[in-house]
Structure 1
Amino acid sequence: MSRAVFPGTFDPPTNGHLDIIGRAAAAFDEVIVAAGVNQSKKRLFSDEERVAMLTEITEPFGNVRVGTFDGLLVDYCRAEGAGVIVKGLRSGGDYDYELQMAQMNRHMSGVDTVFLPTAPENAYISSSLVKEIARLGGAVGDFLPPGVHARLRDRL
């Protein structure tokens, strides 16, 4: 069985994240969407809220489950029996950063990384940018799944 982990902060999960989740679900037997719970980071949504949003938006995929991790991603992958990390790439800058991390992860654990380029319509979407636009009163509904958009509106 091929099992992959798609890690991220998902604060909040965007349509870009959902696109990568769907494509990974089509490529692997099981995908674990793993929300990082590093307590040193300041987030808009709590760990529980991010997990709830991810659980809601991944429900249509029968082979996707949501988890959380704190610490080294490769340790989480080993504990979950996952041999692959999935990363979405929006630009060459993402690739430069993620390639070094992928090489380090493979050296440390043997876990490989698969890069999926983001669909062009999502290439400019990031959680940080969506939050900034929303805080300034801009419309962000096109960038988020409906349930996530509702939560963001309620929060801000």
Structure 2
Amino acid sequence: MRNPVFPSLLTLFALITFLISCNNTAGDSKEAAEFLTAAPKWKIDEIRVNDAVTFENGKMMQQFGGIDFQRYMEIVEIRRDGNFEGVFKGESKPFKLQWKLNENKITVGLPGASPSPGDWTIAPGDVDESSFIMKTQSTAYDYPNVTKIALKFKSLK
């Protein structure tokens, strides 16, 4: 007589293994930096403003009463030397920033500038080999309200 529990346990083990292997996010900021610099370039995939999707599938989505966020980096390159270059949509000249490895995140800001609250941050949990999300908060878009912006990029490997 067969034991019906064994096939069920085997199926459960396979499912758990599959789910764990799908979550290949960076474990720390050093691994996140390795993932980010491994891809030659990254392309914008999604923009969220105050948690609402405003750009998806290559198209801007108008948010009534929301912030009109029309200027964004379409392609970015993250180099091992700390340079972060992005090309804004409709432009050809790269805009240069600098990324810095911190203990629990990566920050992206102006070259040579002191850290600022408006710097972009990349959390290790938001980075895998094929995508990453960088976030910032600022009052510059809707003063005095704080606007949260998240940019999701996909690898162009």
Whichever of the two has the greater Rg, that structure is 2
TM-score normalised by L of structure 2: 0.26
Which has more helix, going by share of residues? 1
Which has more strand, going by share of residues? 2
TM-score normalised by L of structure 1: 0.27
